[in-house]
Amino acid sequence: MADGREPRLRLLRSANVGPVTYAQLIARFGTAEAALDALPMLAARGGGRAPQIADAGAVRREIAAVERLGARYLFLDDLAYPPLLAELDNAPPALILRGNMALLERPSVAMVGARNASAAACRFARQLAIGLVEQGVTVVSGLARGIDTAAHQGALAGGTVGVIASGIDIVFPPENAELQERVARQGLLVTEQPPGTEPLARFFPARNRIIAGLSLGTVVVEAAPRSGSLITARIAAEAGREVMAVPGSPLDPRAQGCNLLIREGAILVQSADDIWEQVRPIDSRVVRSPGDRFGAAPPEDASDADRRRVTGLLGPVPVGVDELIRQSGCAPAVVQTVLLELELAGRLDRHAGARVSLR
């Protein structure tokens, strides 16, 4: 296809090519076509077989399905790609969107919380969402049961973005079918998964990073200590965004996560004005030009000695890339090349917090 979607999607849908690897391949080779040609060579250097490259026919069918569903693609190098989301090291190389893309140009706040939320918490979440959209803020959430549903319901009239862990044509949970359709028609529906993809458990943390990445701050309204909502809050904190939480009764397990966040330094929220006060100052990342979203320093070739040195420091326990650079004594670009080769060979896993491990 003349617009370049097909080669970019073929690269992205190929085996062992994740968001970080995709960005590094484009930075190194300049185009998706050149990166596709280089995959067998890079995988061989990493000690594995050539990764399975996505079938061109399957990619064309995906593009046709997206268009048939009334959706469109937004690639990381497109001018309309949200600058805040592009800040993430693992920003999605391609989003699929249906609805009002102008909502991405407004200040956004994420609102997340328990699926089994109390009636009082759901009511409060709706009130917060109503107050935020009255201030011109877009409310971002995940279309889950509980707090997510309440946040979207409160923000529908003024602007809401729903980020899902499935294909743009799949509804989850089933009872939110009408709400998801309303979000797509009155707001914006976003995913990075191809049409027809079911919402598997491993897709939800990836969905959460988009929710946090789109937003100047994340508000948690009821959450258990070990929940997806706290994962979203952690991603927001790691990205340098505001983390806010609504306090709750210490007797309610659903409030323990929020109270823990506040104890650890999150902003205590009692009204939409409290949230607006935190995000109101203009963030230059919202209005600046996209610049080079694939990094200024592409990976460099590594010697066999470099490969042995870096690989020898890796094991099944995740370790930070910065630590690998420090201990190996190799240049950062060289370490990134070795990791790129190992991932394409199917020998490397990437974890949250820029950590990696051998499979």
The tens digit of pLDDT for each residue in 204-244 reads 999 999 999 999 999 999 998 888 899 999 999 999 999 99
CB atoms within 10 A of CB 212: 27
Tokens of 138: 């877009």
Report yes or no: 127 and 231 within 8 Å, Cβ to Cβ: no
| Residue 4, amino acid | G
pLDDT at 341 exceeding the cut of 90: no
Angle between helices 119-134 and 147-155 (to 10 degrees): 30
- The mean pLDDT of 330-334, rounded to a whole number, is 88
H/E stretch holding 267 reads: strand 267-268
- pLDDT tens-digit map of 302-323: 888 988 999 999 999 999 999 9
Report yes or no: 117 and 95 within 8 Å, Cβ to Cβ: no
pLDDT at 195 exceeding the cut of 90: yes
Give, as one character, the DSSP assignment of residue 222.
S
pLDDT at 352 exceeding the cut of 80: no
The predicted structure's pLDDT at residue 13: 95
- pLDDT bucket at 197, cuts 50 / 70 / 90: very high
The predicted structure's pLDDT at residue 266: 94
Helix (H, G, I), strand (E, B) or coil at 28: helix
Q: In sequence order, what are the residues at sequence separation of 6 or more whose Cβ sits closer than 8 angstroms to the Cβ of residue 8?
A: 32, 75, 93, 94
- pLDDT tens-digit map of 259-301: 999 999 999 999 999 999 998 865 545 544 444 555 545 566 7
Helix (H, G, I), strand (E, B) or coil at 160: strand
Domains and CATH numbers, the chain: 5-68+299-353 (1.10.10.10), 96-287 (3.40.50.450)
- pLDDT tens-digit map of 73-103: 999 989 999 999 999 989 999 999 999 999 9
